Chains A and B, each alone.
Chain A
Amino acid sequence: MKKRWYGLFIISIILIGFFLRVYKLDKTPPSVNFDEAALGYNAFSILKTGKDEYGNFLPLSLRSFNDYKPALYAYLSIPFIAAMGLNDVSIRMVSAIAGTVSLIFLYFFLKSFIKNKYLRIFIFIILSLEPWRLHFSRVAFEANLSASFFIAGAWYFYKYRNWKIQKAKILKFLLVSVLFALSAYSYHSARVAVPLFTVFWALDPLQIIFEKKLFTYIKWVFSKRLFALYPLLLFILLILPVFLTTQSTLVLTRFKQENIFDRYFPYAPKELIATDNAWLNWQSNPVYYFMGLISGHVLSYFSPINTVQRIFHWIRGSVQYIPGFSMFGWLESIIFIFGLVYLIKNIKKLEKYRFVLYWIIAGAAPAAVTWNWFHPLRSLNIFPALEIVIAIGFLNLYKFAKNNLTKLTRLALFGGLSVVFALTIIFTVCNEYNYSISENNGEYQPGGFKEGMQILKSMQDNYDQVIIDSPHAQSYIFLLFYQSFPPEIVQRYAGIRPKPGIEGNLDFNFDKFVFKKFDWPVQKNEHKTLIWTSSEVKEDEIKNTPGAKIIWVNNAVMEKATAIISKD
């Protein structure tokens, strides 16, 4: 294939990838989730007033649900919101573009690892439409934006990995540091993953096993690898403002909520702890179990069943759930094993394989210190690296086929694989576009708000108060998002909102909106009132009450999700 045609082919794969990421973004996923709504509304608020929903001027962290979200995603969404208004599409565009840009760097990595261009293109097509790539690019995930910056940073870090300090140009260091810093401004995980990654690369701990003498190893680190810490220093300087502008304890709010240390203590089975002080229990010491938990959390990302099939309860029913898959296509799990074996086999000889390994371990570390065993969203940075392992697996398989099979058998093998992968890609797209709506239409993508808010908006001016009853703890954000509610009004209520550190129900009353339980025997006596409720409603009782009317709002799966009751 001529170079020009080859290039065009790659570009067309990326463009198809972009098309599949943005096509019908308003329809599927069926509505925004809590975090998307929060990011979108804060971006809208900054666009209109220069302040977030709490009135903080150009914040680096969004207080939002007292979880202090990194703010970069919201800032990058502003142009789209300005152009398209505040809606499902404008808030998801950044993620869709980030997911597409990430493909470019994935290709660069593939080019470096796979020399055969036909094999490379075959792998690129498969990897560019992995279930996780499609899903995470179609939802406004800060983690997806972060992962794209991370892979870009990792690419330049990889490209310049063998710099000599004297030859290094500050701009190259800066490029790596800026990309990694942007990743850290997008999502918390990168703030831990980047330092670990650079330190791992600088110290190359596996060399300790390969190098017999400690002195030789230290000399080697000083002469060959210490340069890798320069981007780290720049990175620290660049992300320092996050910690300086917001109280550092607040930035760590999410970690405090989710960390492994409190949740699992005493780590060992409680029935086996015979002493008052768990640490003194010699038969089943917490240290042994804790070490097991941490190593298990990291190595869970190498377990094919997790990346391909197993759905943990904290994933099911959350926005990261991809029905029918975990992250990768099914056959990739087996190819991954080939890749992993080949990676281990060449771990000493090929330093680029160690680079990939350190990337995975460093990227998994932030998720490993939270209580969840396997958490794709918190470790999204590593999935491109896992894809590189899959690519290595393909390479290994190809080499095996080339050396051991006849040309005809080889053709049959790769022909068969092509058919299976093509069908899987079609299945993945259909699955993401339609089937996932029926599976994900739960608490995290609540139906009703998207469909009903415009109806409510058209009616609310004629009523004195609007009662909102929703089982969701932060339902106010959907009201703000889908009504594009004036942020100036919301900011006025910042003082009465739940204080930082408070978790749980963060709804607050503002303007004419009151958040409370639906109680028809009491509320039927109210006048000029609108009620929004998803509780069980006895339609006859309402119809029999003078001046009361009811409108039903269906969700994405044709279920009655919400009732809007008007009482004159």
Chain B
Amino acid sequence: MGFSYPPTEDQLRIISPFYTLLSSDNLLWILRIFSLLLVIASLYLWWKLLNRLINKRIAFISVVIILISPTIFVLWMLHPFDCLKFFLISIFISLAMSIKKKWILFSIIGSCVLILLSSVFTSSERSSFLHKLSLSDAQSDVNIRFGAEDKLTDPVEILLSLKRVSYNKYFFYYKNLINEVIPFFDLETIFYQEIHPLESKSVVLFIWPEIFLFLFGIYFLYRNKYKKLSQFITLMFLISFWNYIFCPNEPYRKFVMILFPISILIALTINEGFKRSIGFMQKSMFIATFIVLMYGIGTNYYDLFNRTSYWLDNRPLFYDFVFKTISEKGVDNYSKIQVSSLVGKTEMYCNFYLKKCDTDKFVFKSFDLTKEKLEDKKLYAGFVGEFIGPDYKNNMNSNWKNMISGNEINIIKIDNLRDTIAYKYGNEIIVGEKR
């Protein structure tokens, strides 16, 4: 399924002005190839940069480590803006590095500005860090805390003035901000996404055997006294951190810049493994790790291609199912077609799948057929909760098929989504019409 995954909203925003020139499918693939070229160009710049900083071999290994990451595959397949950001930052750092003096300052300022701009202009959402910048959240947290303590039957008496020292909006502001920063130090999301304990929705950045190469990489970095490289890695971590706190998207997109510095550390370890001077024991361990690493990469791509809906956003799947079904049934056979707008910009997908959406015929709005009157020659596409009524706990009646049929609706096609993307409305998606 990997290559046939439906487009994201970002991709549609870019290709929609060109529907008159080429078919939407071709446009999508042109965009994907362009995104891939941006990634390749970024990696080429990265290779050149590392080549100058250390040596060819480490540069090459670092590039390979980044390239084989499943995140990179998903990036060029689905997230063109991220690829552009990747490219622009690579260009900027390359340029800044060519300046002999104050290259660190230039790199930091430039990259941070780029990241800020991209987070503002490429998405209407804002990161949770930005939301926490307001003092009002801190104030309401303080009030909640005082409220909870006031409810105690027999509290421990603590001087109010002492309590106020830490129960105040400024301390809570600090607490809230640092709690936005700490998730950057999340080894699970960076290295253990394959078996993440919270099964959080993200893509594998690094596979788990790479954590050992990373940790040894830190050792080799200092042992070999790569001073400038060490500064450069610190700089890249800072840029990654900046990207993390300002990026409003899924964890793998927030963490994407961390691919750069960690890949260098991993490359440093692998580079040691290639040295002739190492002993038999070290060589054996290196070979074993390398085999596990190769196996892990294969396994992860196998997983990504076989369980794409587990790893990626399920919203495009909803539209893919709905509009392909509508297309099969024939738009002309209906006087009205209502498609749920619960999960995003429906009209954009309509234009992508059906070339041109007749706005008189299509209604992009959520519906509740338990309250609305069914119309003849009208097609309804949405979640099960829109057909039988929502449930605030998202527990749909197991008898929902009969309930829908009982309401004089003929179910044309049903699909089930892995994730709940429209809470209260269930995971089944349905296309139906009045019987």
A contacts, CB < 8 Å to B: 23-24, 27-28, 208-209, 211-214, 217, 269, 271-272, 283-285, 288-289, 291-293, 295-296, 299-300, 302-306, 308-310, 312, 324, 330-331, 333-334, 337, 341, 344-345, 347-348, 373-374, 420, 423-424, 426-427, 429-430, 433-435, 437-439, 554-558
> In the complex the two chains form, is B222's CB within 8 Å of A345's CB?
yes
- Chain B residues lying within 8 Å of A212, measured Cβ to Cβ, are 278-279, 281-282
CB < 8 Å: which of A27, A289, A435 contacts B148? A435
Q: Do the beta carbons of A295 and B211 come within 8 Å of each other?
A: yes
Q: List 16 A-B contacts (CB under 8 A).
A: A24-B156, A209-B282, A214-B279, A283-B302, A289-B195, A330-B175, A333-B185, A334-B181, A344-B215, A345-B218, A420-B174, A423-B166, A434-B152, A434-B155, A435-B145, A556-B154
Give 15 new A-B contacts, CB below 8 A, not counting A299-B192, A430-B167: A209-B281, A209-B285, A211-B281, A212-B282, A269-B303, A272-B303, A292-B192, A299-B211, A302-B187, A304-B185, A304-B186, A334-B185, A426-B162, A426-B165, A557-B152
The answer to whether B330 has its CB under 8 Å from any CB of chain A is no
Interface string of B141-179 (1 = CB under 8 A from A): 000010011011111101000110111000100110011
| Known A345-B222, A430-B163, A433-B158; contact A303-B281, beta-carbon cutoff 8 A | no
Distance A443 CA – B305 CA, assembled complex (angstroms): 43
Contact between A299 and B187, CB atoms less than 8 A apart: yes
Interface pair A438/B148, CB less than 8 Å apart = yes
Q: How far is the CB of A320 from chain B (nearest CB, A)?
A: 16
Q: Are A292 and B187 in contact (CB under 8 A)?
A: no
Tell me if B218 and A283 are in contact (CB < 8 A).
Answer: no
Q: Which of A272, A302, A333, A430 contacts B158 (CB 8 A)?
A: A430
A28 with B151, Cβ < 8 A, contacts A271-B306, A334-B185 known: no
The answer, yes or no, to whether B70 is at the interface (CB within 8 Å) is no
Do A309 and B167 touch across chains, with their CB atoms under 8 A apart? no
Q: Which residues of A contact B175 (CB under 8 A)?
A: 324, 330, 427
Which B-chain residue is minimally distant from A28 (CB atoms)?
B156
**Least CB distance, A509 to chain B, in whole angstroms:** 31
Question: Which one, B39-47, B132-140, B291-299, B404-412, is touching chain A?
Answer: B291-299
- Taking the complex as formed, is B355 at the interface, i.e. its CB lies under 8 A from any CB of chain A? no
| Distance, CA A82 to CA B178, complexed state (A) | 47
Distance, CA A213 to CA B158, complexed state (A): 63
Whether the Cβ atoms of B281 and A208 lie closer than 8 Å is yes
From residue B95, how far is it (CB to closest CB) to chain A in Å? 27
Complex Cα gap A214–B284 (Å): 12
Q: Quick check: A309 and B183 within 8 Å, CB to CB? A: yes
* Interchain CB contact (< 8 A) of B167 among A341, A345, A427: A427
Q: Is the CB of A303 within 8 A of B171?
A: no
Does B292 contact A554, Cβ atoms closer than 8 Å? no
Mark out the residues of chain B between 269 and 320 whose CB falls within 8 Å of any chain A CB in the assembled complex: 278-282, 285, 292, 295-296, 298-299, 302-303, 306-307, 310
Select one of B153, B187, B198 contacting A556, CB under 8 A.
Answer: B153
CA distance A303 to B214 in the complex (A): 14
Q: Is B400 an interface residue (CB 8 A)?
A: no
Q: How far is the CA of A352 from the CA of B306 in the complex (A)?
A: 47
**In the complex, B415 has a CB within 8 A of chain A:** no
- Nearest B residue to A212 via CB reads B279
B residues engaging A (CB < 8 A)? 145, 148-149, 151-156, 158, 162-163, 165-167, 171, 174-175, 178-179, 181-183, 185-188, 191-192, 194-195, 197-198, 208-209, 211-212, 215-216, 218-219, 222-223, 278-282, 285, 292, 295-296, 298-299, 302-303, 306-307, 310
**In the complex the two chains form, is A303's CB within 8 Å of B186's CB?**
yes
Q: Chain A's nearest CB lies how many Å from the CB of B85?
A: 24
Given the contacts A209-B282, A272-B302, A284-B299, A292 and B194 also touching, CB distance less than 8 Å: yes
Q: In whole angstroms, how far apart are the Cα atoms of A269 and B306 in the complex? A: 11
Whether A438 touches B171, Cβ cut-off 8 Å, given contacts A305-B183, A426-B165, is no
Question: A284 with B303: in contact, given A344-B218, A345-B218, A373-B197 (CB under 8 Å)?
Answer: yes
Closest to A345 in B: B222
How many angstroms from the CA of A98 to the CA of B195 in the assembled complex? Answer: 37
Give Cα A420 to B175, complex, Å.
10
Nearest 8 A/B pairs, CB to CB: A373-B197, A212-B279, A427-B166, A304-B185, A303-B187, A345-B222, A438-B148, A292-B208
Name the B residues within 8 Å of A292 (CB-CB): 192, 194-195, 208-209
CB distance from A351 to the nearest CB of B (A): 15
A288 to chain B, nearest CB (A): 6
Give B310 Cβ to nearest chain A Cβ, in Å: 8
**Chain B residues with CB under 8 A of A302:** 187
Chain B residues, CB < 8 A from A374:
197
Q: Is the CB of A434 within 8 A of B187?
A: no
Are B166 and A430 closer than 8 Å at their CB atoms? yes
The answer to whether B195 and A308 touch across the interface, beta carbons within 8 angstroms, is no
- Cross-chain contact of B171 among A272, A288, A423 (Cβ < 8 A): A423
Contacts of A283 in B (CB 8 A): 298-299, 302
Contact partner of B197 (CB less than 8 A), chosen from A312, A331, A337, A345, is A312
A212 to B183, CA, bound (A): 39
Residues of A within 8 A of B181 (CB): 334
Cβ B307 vs Cβ A437 within 8 A: no
Judge whether B167 and A305 touch: CB under 8 Å. Answer: no
CB-nearest residue of chain A to B145: A435
Beta-carbon contact of B307 and A434 below 8 Å: no
Complex: chain B residue closest to A555, CB-CB: B153
Bound-state Cα–Cα, A285 to B188, Å: 21
Question: Please, which residues of chain B bring their CB within 8 A of the CB of A288?
Answer: 292, 295-296, 299
**What residues on B are CB-neighbors of A331 within 8 Å?**
178
A426-B156 contact given A295-B211, A305-B186, A557-B151, CB 8 Å threshold:
no
Q: In the assembly, what is the distance between CA of A556 and CA of B156, in Å?
A: 12
CB contacts (< 8 Å) of A324 on chain B: these are 175
Cβ contacts under 8 Å, B198 to chain A: 312
Could you tell me the distance between the alpha carbons of A506 and B86 in the complex, rounded to whole angstroms? 59
Most chain A CB within a 10 A radius of its CB, from B178, B179, B197: B197
Q: CB-CB < 8 A to B302: which residues of A?
A: 272, 283-284
Q: Is the CB of A434 within 8 A of B154?
A: no
Q: Is the CB of A305 within 8 A of B188?
A: yes
Which chain B residue has the least Cβ–Cβ distance from A424? B166
Closest-CB distance, A324 to chain B (whole angstroms): 8
Q: Which residues of A contact B183 (CB under 8 A)?
A: 305, 309
Beta-carbon nearest neighbor of A27 in chain B: B156
**Which residues of the other chain, B, contact A309 by a CB distance below 8 angstroms?**
179, 182-183
- Known A-B contacts A283-B299, A347-B219, A557-B153; the reply to A289 vs B162 at CB < 8 A is no
Q: Complex Cα distance A430/B163, Å?
A: 7
Which residue of chain B is the closest to A309 with respect to CB atoms?
A: B182
Which B residues are in CB contact (< 8 Å) with A348? Answer: 219, 223
Closest to A331 in B: B178
